[in-house]
Amino acid sequence: MSTLHYQNIGVIGAGAWGTALAQSLASAGRDVTLWAFEADCAEAINSAHENTLFLPGVSLSPKITAVNDLSVMAKCDAVLAVTPAQFMRKSLAAYAPLAPEGQPIVLCSKGIEISTRMFMSDVLSEVVPRAVPAVLSGPSFAIDVAKGLPTAVTLACEDVDVGEALMQAIAAPTFRPYLSTDVLGAEIGGAVKNVLAIVCGIVLGKELGRSAHAAIIARGFAEMTRLGTALGCAPETLTGLSGLGDLVLTCSSEQSRNMSCGLAMGRGQSAQDIVNSRTAVTEGVATAPALKALAQQHSVDMPICFALADILDGQITVDQAITALLSRDPKREH
Ligand SMILES: NC(=O)c1ccc[n+]([C@@H]2O[C@H](COP(=O)([O-])OP(=O)(O)OC[C@H]3O[C@@H](n4cnc5c(N)ncnc54)[C@H](O)[C@@H]3O)[C@@H](O)[C@H]2O)c1
Ligand SMILES: O=P(O)(O)OC[C@H](O)CO
């Protein structure tokens, strides 16, 4: 049992997920300060207790204080970083001069930075090296968590004492974190499953059937495992909540932004048009090319993920990708 105790929790990023996490933390009795990038979003949360921009229709706890000023985060015992992956470096860089030595920063976003092929923990170590890094990831739709529907997630931190204290702070009646020390392993699942969820959406949008859908999930999991193994992650992390757990959720629900993006692509819309029509982030679209580059750098074959990257950058059409995947040489399963 850790002797550390975290009561004041900051959340950087008031999108759907940051807001849902703030709500869950408040339900667990924590004092929560939620930083919103948009000043009017912070104002709406404080005055109407609703995030009308990113999580409309959920009545938020009045115990959540929203701010538009990052300096408040420095007074918190621990901070959750929840801005989309492609904005994470910018948000952390703005916070870096304020961050106290040894403050735990829990990365809750899922993706790989396009320009550097870095996972969020690599970005954090580079930008705020004096923070203690942790990762929270697993099957968790923001709306479910905000409504108090139950789920379980992986909470990874190499410092076991800090990890245990974070687990105590984040655990809520219907939100159950399981502790791990495999930070990178916990990040891989979240990044790769978003890419695979788009592919699963395409499969269903093209009406290729549930058998093809299940085959993509299983072969996609094999790709995730190959990458994780090459990068030194523990196999049990990949079969856990942040890996297989989140893959199953995201690939099987139209509620997922990534899955629904794929569905629309399978029905003929371009990814760019879909992304442009949304205020919400579709992380897999940005992560797919970064994932392809990272996997190639490590000589890891991920044909399903590569096919999506090639569709997104216009090298091949959806139909050509399907034909190419189906005409690969037969192989051993393992
Ligand atoms: N929504 C979910 O169900 C869910 C669940 C688990 C994890 N996540 C992950 O959480 C992360 C955040 O997703 P979300 O769903 O909360 O976001 P969202 O789609 O609800 O909102 C978009 C977010 O982007 C921010 N933003 C837009 N422009 C910005 C800029 N220039 N600089 C900084 N921030 C900017 C907005 O303030 C807002 O917080 C993603 O990595 C996502 O994969 C989401
Ligand atoms: O809506 P998505 O596709 O961004 O998925 C949300 C969460 O990551 C599910 O765990």
* Model confidence pLDDT, tens digit, residues 37-48: 999 999 999 999
What 3-state DSSP class applies to 129?
A: coil
Task: Point out the residues that are catalytic.
Answer: 193
Q: Which of 24, 35, 37 to mutate to test the pocket of ligand 1 (most atoms within 8 A of CB)?
A: 37
Report d(CA 258, CA 195) in Å as an integer: 7
Q: Which atom of ligand 2 is nearest to the CA of 281?
A: 4
Which residues does residue 81 pair with via DSSP β-bridges, in sequence order? 12, 107
237 in contact with ligand 2, CB cutoff 6 A = no
The residue nearest atom 5 of ligand 2, judged by CA position, is: 256
* Contact between residue 265 and residue 206 where contact means Cβ atoms under 8 Å apart: no
Report d(CA 288, CA 308) in Å as an integer: 7
pLDDT higher than 80, residue 1 = no
CA distances from 126 to 120, 290, 293 (A): 10, 18, 20
* Contact between residue 94 and residue 70 where contact means Cβ atoms under 8 Å apart: yes
Note whether ipTM > 0.85 here: yes
What letter does residue 330 receive in the DSSP assignment?
A: P
Q: What confidence score (pLDDT) does residue 205 get?
A: 98
Give the pair of three-digit tokens for residue 14. Answer: 């008031």
Mean pLDDT of 163-170: 98
pLDDT higher than 90, residue 334 = no
Give the pair of three-digit tokens for residue 322. Answer: 């399907």
Report d(CA 182, CA 187) in Å as an integer: 9
17 in contact with ligand 1, CB cutoff 6 A = yes
Model pTM?
A: 0.98
Amino acid 329 reads: D
Mean pLDDT of 227-238: 97
332 confidence band (pLDDT: 50, 70, 90): very high
Single out the residue of 242, 220, 235 nearest to residue 301, CA to CA.
Answer: 220
Residue 316 Cα to ligand 2 middle (Å): 26
Which residues does residue 64 pair with via DSSP β-bridges, in sequence order? 32
16 in contact with ligand 1, CB cutoff 6 A = yes
Q: Which of 110, 254, 287 to mutate to test the pocket of ligand 2 (most atoms within 8 A of CB)?
A: 110
Q: Which atom of ligand 1 is nearest to the CA of 91?
A: 33
* Contact between residue 179 and residue 204 where contact means Cβ atoms under 8 Å apart: no
Please spell the DSSP secondary structure of 240-309, one letter per residue: SIIIIIHHHHHHT-TTSHHHHHHHHHHTT--HHHHHHT-SS--HHHHHHHHHHHHHHHTT---HHHHHHH
What 3-state DSSP class applies to 211?
A: helix
